Amino acid sequence: MSENTNDTQKLEQLVEAKKNFFSEIGKIVIGQKEILDFMLIALLTRGHTLLVGVPGLAKTLLIKSMADICDLSFKRIQFTPDLMPSDITGTELIDIDPETEKRAFRFYKGPIFANIVLADEINRTPPKTQAALLEAMQEHRVTAGGHTYDIDEPFFVLATQNPIEQEGTYPLPEAQLDRFMFHLNINYPSIDEEVSIVNETTVGKKYNVEKVFSKESIIGFQDLVFRVPISDNVVNYAVKLAASTRPNENTGSEYVKKWVEWGAGPRASQYLVLGAKAKALLDGRPTPSIEDIQSLAPEILRHRILPNFNAEAEGIKVDDIVNQLIQNLED
């Protein structure tokens, strides 16, 4: 790392902050440690996350608790079929100055202007409104009335989808899905975890959480991630893994050509490398390994690989394809 001493101190601070983060969030959220690990990685790499799970699994509580502990502003947007782009980004209205009685347009910021935004059931709103959110995610700014308004950093979007009710939904196109770093599947809690949830939520207890991060510290840790050194063989592995998902290239195996319609683009390689860097730091290591790439691959590649009809007919899942590709690269 450059500025070795300072960066080493920041690494130690991040490991301690992570420990305190899980200690605090454990007062409110039971289980879901793996999901929280991925959300921290996305936050530190300036990425965004798509969370797929049935209703009632505490997705809102999870992200709101994270915002509280990180000392970040939080907004929730419930996506519905009648939601307009201006309902997300904001709108211009005519204001009258009480002293001069002059009229002028004034921009009123929408809920996208927060550090952490929960986009609930993003597939329930039309593509035009989805595009407004996804553009803000990409650019970290909003344009309205010929003016550009920056969104405060850090900026993290967690979008959710319900995998069961698909009637009346507008599935995100592959090009839009590619803007999310992670595609996470949130599962039901175990029996023991559900017993703990019931015990904790039916007795009227309230917990106060301590702030672990701040805006400034998170931005500092984000900058640290980009300074982490990484060996050429780890970068080459990440690129080869992403390229191996593409059926129309020489890198594609017969397995991929048989089951895959479309593979991952270069953004997958970028996120594999950035995610591995952040994961290494959170684990207290100064540089990432190939194992870090492998551990993040399913969540980064799952929404970037489009299985073909053969795969669907044979019951081949995307995760099966990713695991096979990892196995092929090891052989």
**Same-domain status, 236 and 195:** no
Q: How many domains does the chain have?
A: 2
What pLDDT score was predicted for residue 3?
Answer: 58
Domain range holding 103?
4-217
Q: d(Cα 45, Cα 6) in Å, to the nearest integer? A: 20
- Percentage above 70 pLDDT, the chain: 95
Same domain, 128 and 177: yes
pLDDT greater than 60 at residue 1: no
Query: Are 83 and 199 found together in one domain?
Result: yes
What are the backbone angles phi and psi of residue 322, rounded to the nearest 5°?
A: -65, -45
Q: What angle do CA 149, 150, 156 make, to 5 degrees?
A: 130
Q: What is the DSSP string of 155-224?
A: -EEEEEE-SS--TT--PPPHHHHTT-SEEEE--PPPHHHHHHHHHHHSS-----------HHHHHHHHHH
- The pLDDT of residue 168: 67
Alpha carbon distance, N-terminus to C-terminus of the chain = 32
**pTM (whole model) above 0.95:** no
Q: How far apart are CA 106 and CA 101, in angstroms?
A: 14
The CATH number of whichever domain residue 58 belongs to comes to: 3.40.50.300
Last residue of one domain, picked from the residues 169, 192, 217: 217
Token pair for 94? 């005519």
pLDDT tens-digit profile of 109-142?
A: 999 999 999 999 998 888 888 888 888 898 899 8
Q: What is the pLDDT of residue 2?
A: 45
Mean pLDDT of 153-170: 82
For the domain that residue 233 is a member of, what is the CATH number?
1.10.8.80
